[in-house]
Structure formats: structure tokens, C-alpha cells
Amino acid sequence: MGYLPILENANKNLVREIFHKCLRYLLELIILLENGVNLFINNKKIWFYPRVPTILADWPEATSYCLVYKSTNSNISCHFCLVKKNDLANINLSSSDMRLRSHNEMRNYFENKTQNSVCIESVPNFFWNFP
């Protein structure tokens, strides 16, 4: 358990970078313990491996974790998928029109400097390296 800083009056990209660096600091042990760890509890050795099963967040917090543009005016504002703003209420979309955001795909947009086309910030996302 840890606290995440909320910086005020700072450059927004700096705020995002620090947020994701703090996440890395808090969670990198999970990556390092990829093969698990043995714990001795009541003189019994128990093997386990730590994971983050879910993160509860409201929409603004989810945009911080996913580094999706925070504006509701953004053309692709959903942190789950790449459905355009004008199609979010379209019930006639086919499943092929509803592409999900994946770590690899978002990382590719970032590395190819085309992150603007999928409305993500120009900051590397810690979760792209998460198992």
C-alpha cells in the first residue's frame, strides 16, 4: 500500500510522468517476483506470486492510469476502447468497430509518435511493462 502524489501547479506531462514513476516504484516488486516468492507463515512455507487483479477508479482516475486524454471533448475518450466519441451511443456498431485498447497497441502508437491519433498522452505508461 502506498500513497500517490497529486502535484498542483506543475506541467501536466510532468505530473503524469511522476504519477507513473510512483506506480513503478510501488509495483515493480511484482514484476521482480515474476516467478513467485516463498513466505514462512506459522512455520509453513507457502509459495505465492503477487498480482494486481484490479484497480478501482472513476473515469478521471482511469484516464490517469491509462494516460488517455482527460477531456470529454476528446475524439476517443474511452480508456477501454477506440470507439470514437460520436459512436459511443451507436447501438448499431459491429464488434469489429469496437477495437479494445491493448498495452502493445498503445505502446506502438507511442513509439511511432502517433499517440495523438488514439488520444493518449506523450508519456510512457508503466503498465505497458506489467506482466
Interacting residue with Zn ion among 23, 68, 76, 78 (CB under 5 A): 78
Establish if 52 lies at the interface with Zn ion (CB under 5 A). Answer: no
CA–chain centroid gap for 73, Å, is 20
d(Cα 5, Cα 76) in Å, to the nearest integer? 27
Establish if 93 lies at the interface with Zn ion (CB under 5 A). Answer: no
Interacting residue with Zn ion among 59, 81, 87, 99 (CB under 5 A): 81
**4 or 81: whose CB is closer to Zn ion?**
81
Establish if 48 lies at the interface with Zn ion (CB under 5 A). Answer: no
| Chain residue at closest Cβ approach to Zn ion | 78
**33 or 81: whose CB is closer to Zn ion?**
81
Q: Which residues of 58-82 are buried (b: 16+ CB within 10 A; e: fewer)?
A: eeeebbbbbbbbbeeeeebbbbeeb
Establish if 100 lies at the interface with Zn ion (CB under 5 A). Answer: no
Residue 83's CB: how many other CB atoms inside 10 A?
A: 18
d(Cα 60, Cα 20) in Å, to the nearest integer? 15
Query: At closest approach, how far in Å is the CB of 87 from Zn ion?
Result: 10
Task: At 126, give phi and psi (nearest 5°).
Answer: -55, -35
Query: At closest approach, how far in Å is the CB of 82 from Zn ion?
Result: 8
Establish if 4 lies at the interface with Zn ion (CB under 5 A). Answer: no
Q: By the criterion CB under 5 A, which residues form the site for Zn ion? A: 78, 80-81
